[in-house]
Amino acid sequence: MVTLGTVYFYICAALALGGALAAVSARNPIRGAMGLLVLILAMAGLFLALHAQFLAAIQLIVYAGAIVVLFLFVIMLLGPSATSQRDLRGLYPRVFSGVLFVLAALATMVLVVRGAKYVVLPGTPRAFGSIDSFGKDLFNSGLVPFELSAALLMVAVLGAVAVAKGKQGESKALPAEPVEPQEKH
Amino acid sequence: MPLALALSPFLVLGFGALLIMLAEAFGSRRGGMALGSTIVLFATGLTAAGLWMYGLENLKGLEAVAPWLLLDRFTLFFQMLLCLGSALAALTAGGYLPEHELDRGEFYALLLFATFGAMMVSASGDLLTLFLGLETMSLGAYAMTAFRKASPRATEGALKYFLLGSFAAAILLYGFALLYGATGHTDLAGISKVLRAGAVKDPMVVTSLVLILVGLVFKVSAVPFHAWTPDAYEGAPTPATTYMAVVVKAGAFAMMLRILLTAFGDAQSMSWSAGWPPVLAGIAVLTMTVANLVAGRQESVKRMLAYSSIAHAGYLLVGVVATMRAPQQAGASVLFYLLGYTVSTAGAFAALVLCGSRGRETVSYEDLAGIGRRHPAVALPLAFFALSLAGIPPTVGFFAKWFVFRAAVESGFYVLTIVAFLNSVLGAYYYIRVLVYMYMREPAVGAPVAVPMRSGYVVAAVILSAVMVIVLGVAPSDTLDVAVAAALSPG
């Protein structure tokens, strides 16, 4: 049965797939960033269809608004050097493993869809997905993982600093000294 | 209040890590970072030990954080184990980083937060916190691998580790998503309940199990998902290699035991005909054989130790498979093996660090040639830890293997045990080769010669590991009792 919801889902899914493909395959980094933007917008649309309005809004503000813009800044700062030369090394293995992976993923999907019993997941309450209920969930039942995710963010920031700072104060290793020729006794 | 007490290992480590981070940012002296980190880690481990003796059953209100965090003896055992491994890595870093002009305090903060992630992994009873902990642990390890930025080899290893690790995490997450779709639960106990009620035969559950196994096997770096290991281990600064070999591996095994025994602990999932044991047994055989064959051909000692850590993952998997029939005994043998492996491997890396100095780092077998005669004091520990890794009594390596093999035999896995035994004989070849180079070879004329470094921190790490290797190797029974008490029971 085709409902408006299904049509909406397929449109968003097709846009997301197209955007992802463009982001991966574009040689011009600006086009790649635009493909990413399409993917993010389509994902926000999918979230909306799941009644997750807050998540959709956050997706738009954080990813589309902040991260893609950051990418664009970096690409523009780098200028023409951001476009990489076409690299044909290992083309066949790359294409072969890509195709193999897609086939494996498709086989997995077919296997899952054909044999799946549809489990009715717990229904969503009326206010599901609103900022209000999201906040209540986050600070009540989900408090522990929320607090623990602080460690994850901290590690990510620290890791970025550690990797970015690496070049300063680090000198080339000294060449090793050769061993003296041994005297025969 | 009892809850805060039960969570105290997390709190001590979390606040300690923040303190170390702030001390790095605002402090003027650099020297005490390694000492501070070690103190924080030992304090955390001792808190866990204190809780173990006090008894968690005397504390009320632990269900407030369940199922996100399960506070049981399994968790406490891993908290102590992870803190020990991490403290040995921090001590090694205390000597290694200044010597090789990498002394930036972020390393210690990363080490502590990543250990926090590993502790989260071992305590998690829910797929969400499990994944959060796993990522915290892995991101720290990626950053530590890339720490030596001037070296192209380090960058290559870190990039490989990061890309493949992210890919494996995505596959694991796909498995989690399918499992949630099939059962409607993210907590392991809830999943187990639904699976027992008959959802096991659902193809979605089977597919999710396969995907989850791929992710887990990648994290413990077993064949065929081991390709990143030698490059990452070789490129990383040696303390980071210690961390990866010891803490990340222990955390990954904690995760594997939690998921397989708690979520997939029902009769059918644990059966030989329709469950995960035959898959893991195949991977174990493949891992041990391939790793031992390739390790013998390495010219770099660090790469050899990387393959050795892959081979040890294979022996550990034998123990995990044996939990199918003897959960208590085999689970305890895995925990004991992890402890023995931790002290032997961390000690071996610390001794390797001690053998070299700036610009004259010992990397290959050739670098070690004749060091036994020139510098017997630093060669002896390396030889000793190599013997422990090979499993020669009276070191802990012998008893660790003995317990795992005994558990496998008593569960009726004769073929698997014979393969594992033959492999450990094969593995002795490349550990003994270290000794041969150190004591029976002389460096080639004109070849670079290693000069040992001086560092109280690294010496402390070597002594601490050596004492534990000896004590656990001579009197393992008390520690084994602790491991038995900590072992998970299925379901």
- Say if the Cβ atoms of A144 and B129 lie within 8 Å: yes
Find the mean pLDDT for residues A89-112: 87
How many residue contacts between A and B have a Cβ separation below 8 Å?
146
Amino acid at the residue B27: G
Q: Predicted confidence band at A51 (pLDDT cuts at 50, 70, 90)?
A: confident
**What's the mean pLDDT when you consider all of chain A?**
83
**Looking at chain B from residue 184 to 243, which residues have their Cβ under 8 Å from any Cβ of chain A?**
184, 199, 202-204, 207, 211
Provide the ipTM.
0.89
**Separation CA B186–CA B188 (nearest Å):** 6
Residue B8 pLDDT greater than 90, yes or no: yes
Residue A174 pLDDT greater than 60, yes or no: no
- Whether the CB of A123 is below 8 Å from some CB of chain B: the reply is no
Find the mean pLDDT for residues B388-416: 93
**Separation CA B319–CA B307 (nearest Å):** 19
Residue B159 belongs to a domain: no
- Whether the CB of B359 is below 8 Å from some CB of chain A: the reply is yes
**DSSP 8-state secondary structure symbol assigned to residue A85:** P
- Whether the CB of A184 is below 8 Å from some CB of chain B: the reply is no
Residue A168 pLDDT greater than 70, yes or no: no
Q: What is the pLDDT of residue B465?
A: 96
Counted domains in chain B: 1
Least confident of B8-17, B221-230, B359-368: B359-368
**What's the mean pLDDT when you consider all of chain B?**
91
Least confident of A96-100, B61-65, B333-337, B394-398: B61-65
Sign, Cα dihedral of B53, B54, B60, B62 = negative
Closest to B238 in 3D by CA, of B387, B350, B103, B134: B350
Q: What is the pLDDT of residue A167?
A: 58
Q: What is the pLDDT of residue A1?
A: 67
Q: Which helix (H) or strand (E) holds A124?
A: none
Residue B11 belongs to a domain: no
Residue B162 belongs to a domain: no
Q: What is the pLDDT of residue A111?
A: 81
Q: How does pLDDT run across B15-64, given as a tens digit for each residue?
A: 999 999 999 888 776 678 899 999 999 999 999 999 999 988 888 888 88
- Whether the CB of A177 is below 8 Å from some CB of chain B: the reply is yes
Range of the domain at B332: 289-491
- CATH number given to A1-80: 1.20.120.1200
- Cβ-contact A34, A18 below 8 angstroms: no
